[in-house]
């Protein structure tokens, strides 16, 4: 029979938690590990399994690595190396419960291993179990008394356990060893501030400034201390001294701007912010947050102009970061400067084509600008990166529709509808686009179905109401329905010349010539450069018997657009021709 041995290690807790529980029985955690003596054959097998486990761990095959280490424990239940490796794997996976279990077993068997205790300490830190963390740190301090970082960790743990006086005592001892370093300072600052002792907190910082009069950091620390405790005058004085030492330090500038804003001095504050933006050392993400704050005040002209100026500086200082050009594009988009915004989005995409939001904004602009060719080109390119984004099929489909390729448009719109579309506005526009495309292909039944689907989703979509009504009038179908839809579109969006023209044309088809004339004149007033509207007015006047004025308006139409053979025939024959 093999000789058996039992190993156990007692984790004894002092009875205090972060909430300083008192008068409770001390909590104990007992870890028991049984082991045995190994034969030469078993010893060799354990060695082989261990190296196999390490190999799989290195190549990120964690499942197989875990299997090898578990096989070791079946042969050698007290193998602390296997327990440690398993603990590491589970710790990296974020499974702290399993990691703790294996790490405690490793340190139970091998109590003098610094790395085992360090892993336990890291696990306890993440679990915020400060009692066990303190215990592990005590062991680390014993094992490695020259490693000051363990003593700093212990001072921090004492603070988190609600023992500020013990923590302060340890920080004071550490100061004697290493001097008044940032780490000592920051640890003591937290304690002083928790106790509300601003005098002692500032005294430390003033001593640091005295010892290091050219180090801007300490002025900033002191200024931040004063500012966070509503001592703004004192804070501003300290920040100004820091600015005198280094006028290019962006953090000083931002701090001063914050105080000037609180003192209702926005112009001076903005100048400080602008100076800070010119420094690359101020992180781009911090700058982005500052610019985005201006968005809340849009369309205020001052806010827009400042956001634009800061965004321009951003592109100059961070010229290889797509974020800067994208944000500049967003600001210009908010200003409705669509062409310049488009340029900035294109620059952002030159730097990184894998940001979907930038593609979306760029294509929105091109849709608004009715740039069909660019919509197709950029839409197709965007789809090569993001084939699962339904909006890209929608944009590209409208590009083809604008360029007169209705078949392609129908294909792209239907591809978009194959997705689960959560944006009902876009879904309605897709159906509306399908209605236009089917109309162009003379698939009138499909066109009606698509328009009706669009109106079910958005009954007051003026674009759909107008187009549906207009195409019904062209086909002389359901004119009463067309009249109602066109009337509604004009109520919803008055003074839209295209909508007024549609309504006038439907009234013309219904032989309501007087009303048709009034509406067509409104359309011409709102858009005096439309050849179609002058032609339509001529048609209405002819039906009213006013041939002379009909000819005058037909000729005006021909002056605007001379490429109209049917209109030329009307003029030549002096009569209305369908």
For the ranges 36-45, 225-234, 327-336, the one whose mean pLDDT is highest: 327-336
Q: Is it the case that residue 3 has pLDDT exceeding 70?
A: no
Query: What domains, with CATH codes, occur in the chain?
Result: 283-352 (1.25.40.10), 529-577 (no CATH)
**Cβ atoms of 398 and 375 closer than 8 Å:** yes
Residues β-bridged to residue 7: 33
Whole-prediction pTM: 0.67
Confidence (pLDDT) at 158: 86
Summarize the confidence of residues 267-287 as an average pLDDT.
95
Q: Is it the case that residue 382 has pLDDT exceeding 50?
A: yes
Q: Is it the case that residue 101 has pLDDT exceeding 60?
A: yes
Q: Which DSSP category does 27 fall into?
A: P
Query: Residue 315: which pLDDT band, with cuts at 50, 70 and 90?
Result: very high
Report CA-CA distances (Å) from 290 to 284, 295, 328: 10, 10, 13
Query: Residue 6: which pLDDT band, with cuts at 50, 70 and 90?
Result: very low
Q: Taking the alpha carbons of 357, 359, 365, 370 in that order, is the dihedral positive or negative?
A: negative
Q: Burial letters for 378-412: b for 16+ Cβ neighbours within 10 Å, e otherwise?
A: bbeebbeeeeebbbbbbbbbbbbbbeebbebbbbb
pLDDT for 402-454, tens place per residue?
A: 999 999 999 999 999 999 999 999 999 999 999 999 999 999 999 999 999 99
Measured in degrees and rounded to the nearest 5, phi and psi for residue 322 equal: -60, -25
Q: Is it the case that residue 24 has pLDDT exceeding 50?
A: no
Confidence (pLDDT) at 33: 57
Token pair of 477, please? 């179908």
Query: Residue 249: which pLDDT band, with cuts at 50, 70 and 90?
Result: very high
Query: Residue 320: which pLDDT band, with cuts at 50, 70 and 90?
Result: very high
Q: Is it the case that residue 459 has pLDDT exceeding 80?
A: yes
**Nearest Cα to 7, choosing from 119, 104, 132, 138?**
104
pLDDT for 489-501, tens place per residue?
A: 999 999 999 999 9
Summarize the confidence of residues 507-525 as an average pLDDT.
96
The pairing of strands 28-36 and 4-12 is antiparallel
Query: Cis peptide leading into 299, omega within 30 of 0?
Result: yes
Confidence (pLDDT) at 190: 79
Tell me what percent of the residues of the chain surpass a pLDDT of 70.
94
pLDDT for 27-43, tens place per residue?
A: 435 565 555 678 888 88
Tell me what percent of the residues of the chain surpass a pLDDT of 90.
75
The average confidence (pLDDT) of the chain is: 89
Confidence (pLDDT) at 110: 92
Q: Whose structure tokens read 């048609």?
A: 539
**Nearest Cα to 54, choosing from 45, 67, 46, 65?**
65
**Cβ atoms of 3 and 15 closer than 8 Å:** no
**Range of weakest confidence among 18-22, 86-90, 521-525, 566-570:** 18-22
Confidence (pLDDT) at 31: 61
Token pair of 339, please? 């062409």
**Nearest Cα to 470, choosing from 494, 495, 451?**
451
**Nearest Cα to 220, choosing from 185, 188, 187?**
185
Report the largest interatomic distance among the alpha carbons of the chain, rounded to a whole angstrom: 124
Q: Is it the case that residue 295 has pLDDT exceeding 60?
A: yes
Summarize the confidence of residues 193-222 as an average pLDDT.
83
Confidence (pLDDT) at 11: 38
């Amino acid at each position: 029979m093999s000789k058996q041995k039992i190993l156990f290690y007692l984790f004894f807790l002092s009875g205090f938690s972060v909430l300083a529980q008192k008068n409770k029985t001390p909590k104990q955690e007992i870890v028991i590990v049984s082991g045995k003596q190994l034969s030469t054959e078993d010893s060799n097998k354990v060695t082989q399994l261990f190296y196999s486990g390490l190999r799989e761990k290195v190549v990120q095959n964690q499942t197989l690595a875990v299997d090898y280490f578990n096989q070791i424990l079946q042969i050698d239940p007290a193998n602390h190396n296997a327990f440690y490796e398993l603990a590491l794997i589970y710790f990296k996976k974020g499974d702290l419960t399993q990691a703790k279990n294996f790490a405690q077993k490793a340190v139970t068997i091998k109590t003098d291993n610094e790395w085992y205790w360090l892993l336990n300490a890291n696990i306890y830190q993440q679990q915020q179990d400060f009692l066990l963390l303190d215990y592990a740190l005590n062991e680390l301090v014993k094992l490695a008394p020259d490693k000051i970082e363990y003593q700093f960790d212990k001072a921090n743990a004492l603070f988190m356990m609600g023992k500020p006086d013990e923590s302060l005592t340890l920080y004071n001892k550490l100061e004697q060893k290493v001097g008044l370093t940032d780490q000592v300072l920051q640890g003591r600052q937290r304690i002083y501030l928790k106790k509300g002792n601003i005098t002692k907190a500032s005294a430390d910082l003033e001593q640091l400034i005295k010892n290091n009069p050219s180090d801007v950091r300490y002025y900033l620390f002191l200024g931040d201390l004063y500012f966070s405790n509503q001592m703004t005058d004192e804070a501003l004085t300290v920040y100004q001294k820091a600015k005198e030492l280094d006028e290019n330090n962006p953090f000083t500038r931002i701090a001063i701007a914050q105080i000037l804003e609180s003192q209702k001095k926005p112009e001076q504050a903005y100048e400080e912010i602008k100076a800070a933006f010119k420094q690359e050392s101020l992180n781009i993400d911090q700058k982005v947050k500052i610019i985005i704050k201006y968005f809340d005040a849009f369309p205020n002209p001052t806010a827009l102009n400042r956001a634009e100026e800061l965004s321009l500086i951003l592109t100059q200082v961070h010229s290889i970061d797509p974020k800067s050009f994208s944000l500049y594009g967003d600001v210009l988009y908010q200003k409705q400067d669509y062409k310049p915004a488009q340029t900035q989005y294109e620059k952002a995409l030159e730097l990184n084509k894998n940001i979907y939001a930038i593609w979306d904004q760029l294509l929105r602009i091109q849709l608004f600008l009715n740039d069909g060719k660019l919509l197709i080109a950029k839409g197709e390119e965007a789809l090569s990166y993001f084939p699962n984004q339904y909006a890209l099929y929608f944009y590209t489909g409208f590009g083809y529709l604008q360029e007169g390729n209705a078949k392609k448009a129908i294909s792209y719109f239907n591809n978009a509808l194959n997705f689960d579309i959560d944006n009902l506005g876009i879904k309605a526009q897709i159906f509306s686009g399908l209605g236009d495309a089917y109309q162009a292909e003379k698939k009138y039944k499909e066109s009606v179905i698509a328009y009706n689907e669009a109106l079910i989703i958005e009954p007051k979509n003026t674009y759909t109401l107008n187009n549906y009504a207009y195409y019904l009038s062209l086909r002389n179908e359901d004119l009463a329905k067309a009249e109602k839809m066109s009337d509604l579109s004009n109520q919803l969006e008055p003074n839209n010349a295209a909508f007024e023209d549609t309504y006038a044309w439907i009234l013309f088809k219904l032989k309501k010539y007087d009303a048709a004339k009034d509406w067509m004149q409104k359309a011409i007033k709102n858009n005096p450069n439309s050849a179609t509207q002058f032609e339509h007015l001529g048609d209405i006047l002819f039906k009213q018997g006013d041939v002379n004025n009909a000819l005058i308006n037909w000729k005006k139409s021909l002056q605007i657009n001379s490429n109209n053979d049917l209109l030329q025939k009307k003029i030549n024959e002096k009569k209305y021709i369908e």
